[in-house]
């Protein structure tokens, strides 16, 4: 079956712009989480969604937002981009809720802010 | 808060050498523990997991045992291959959530 699909794979934006990243989970998975990966900070949790509800949010400014649709697809948005937002953004989906299941990761969207 | 600490890399080994990557955690309650691997240009793949104390996760020759008394989940492999070269992340998930807290990652380089 198809894995987690993230689009686009690569993105270059200018400071001050906004960006929307998309994640399609594995069919049947209703839990979607987002992570930011940078060389300096490593992997940091952004959000967790289940059945269109945000269950958990990481320690990021309000410029970072997300949502989940009824088909479990998720989007994250970053407004007023800063150079420090350059990172690999990873989406993961899970069948089970509650930390006991396996999280399947997409290949990520590499965002470069210039 | 909950956290994961893993050994700094890179770890450089010759093929067929024994591998240990140390991981310790701080958590309230009873987290699940995971090892993920990231190959160049790829996302993360689950390598193994353990959901309760004394559980041993294993996959592709890798093993790790959930040690509650030492709050550790060290990754081991008896004989590494060049194809094992990657970055390895130790992680925990908090109770009743899919949120993963990751260690900083350890780069493994295996030479023939």
> Which residue did the predictor score with more confidence, A102 or B79?
B79
Interface of A with B in 11-50 (CB under 8 A): 31, 33, 35, 42-43, 45, 48, 50
For residue B99, the chain A residues in CB contact (below 8 A) are 33, 45, 48, 56, 58, 99
* Cα distance between residue A4 and residue B81, in whole Å: 28
**CB spacing of A103 vs B43 below 8 angstroms:** no
Confidence at residue A49, expressed as pLDDT on a 0 to 100 scale: 93
pLDDT in tens, B53-69: 999 999 999 999 999 99
Q: Which residues contact residue A1 at a Cβ distance below 8 angstroms, ignoring those fewer than 6 apart?
A: A26, A27
- The shortest C-alpha distance from B98 to chain A (Å) reads 4
Q: What is the pLDDT of residue A37?
A: 95
Per the prediction, chain A carries an average pLDDT of: 93
Q: Output the pLDDT for position A101.
A: 66
Tell me the pLDDT band of B20, cut-offs 50, 70 and 90: very high
Cβ–Cβ gap A56/B93 under 8 Å: no
* pLDDT, position B42: 85
A68: chain B residues, CB-CB within 8 Å: none
**pLDDT of res. A99:** 59
Average the pLDDT over B29-42 and give the result. Answer: 90
**Inter-chain CB proximity A48 and B43 less than 8 Å:** no
Q: Which residue has the higher pLDDT, A72 or B94?
A: A72
Separation of alpha carbons A102 and A113, rounded Å: 32
Is A101 in Cβ contact with B98 (below 8 Å)? yes
Closest chain B CA to residue A50: B98
Cα-based angle B88, A59, A54 (whole degrees, multiple of 5): 95
| Residue matched to tokens 């790829």 | B42
3-class SS string, chain A: CCCCEEECCEEEECCCCCEEEEEECCCCCCEEEEEEEECCCEEEEEEEEECCEEEEECCCCCCEEEEECCCCCEEEEECCCCHHHCEEEEEEEECCCCCCCCEEECCCEEEEEC
Q: Which of A24, A90, A103 to mutate to test the interface with B (most CBs of B within 10 A)?
A: A103
Which pLDDT does position B99 carry in this prediction? 86
Mean pLDDT of B90-98: 83
Inter-chain touch B95–A31, beta carbons under 8 Å = no
Cβ–Cβ under 8 Å, residues B94 and B45: no
Say if CB A45 and CB A33 are below 8 A apart.
yes
Are the beta carbons of A98 and B98 separated by less than 8 Å?
Answer: yes
pLDDT tens sequence for chain A (114 residues): 679 999 999 999 999 999 999 999 999 999 999 999 999 899 999 999 999 999 989 999 999 999 999 999 999 999 999 999 999 999 999 887 665 668 899 999 999 999
């Amino acid at each position: 079956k198809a894995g987690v699909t993230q689009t686009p794979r690569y993105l270059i934006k200018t400071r001050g712009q906004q960006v929307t990243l998309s994640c399609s989970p594995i069919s049947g998975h209703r839990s979607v989480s987002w992570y930011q990966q940078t060389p300096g900070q490593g992997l940091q949790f952004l959000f967790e969604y289940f059945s269109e509800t945000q269950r958990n949010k990481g320690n990021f400014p309000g410029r970072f937002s997300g949502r989940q649709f009824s088909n479990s697809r998720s989007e994250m948005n970053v407004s007023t981009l800063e150079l420090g937002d350059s990172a690999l953004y990873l989406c993961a989906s899970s069948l089970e809720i509650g930390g006991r299941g396996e999280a399947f990761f997409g290949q990520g969207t590499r965002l470069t802010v210039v | 808060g909950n956290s994961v600490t893993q050994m700094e890399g890179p770890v450089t080994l010759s093929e067929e050498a024994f591998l240990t990557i140390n991981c310790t955690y701080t958590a309230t309650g009873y987290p699940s523990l995971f090892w993920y691997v990231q190959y160049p240009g790829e996302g993360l793949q689950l390598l193994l997991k353990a959901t309760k104390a004394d559980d041993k996760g294993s996959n592709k020759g890798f093993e790790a045992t959930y040690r509650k008394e030492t709050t550790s989940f060290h990754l081991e492999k008896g004989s590494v291959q060049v194809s094992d070269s990657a970055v390895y992340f130790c992680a925990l998930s908090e109770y009743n959530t899919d949120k993963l807290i990751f260690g900083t990652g350890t780069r493994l380089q295996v030479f023939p």
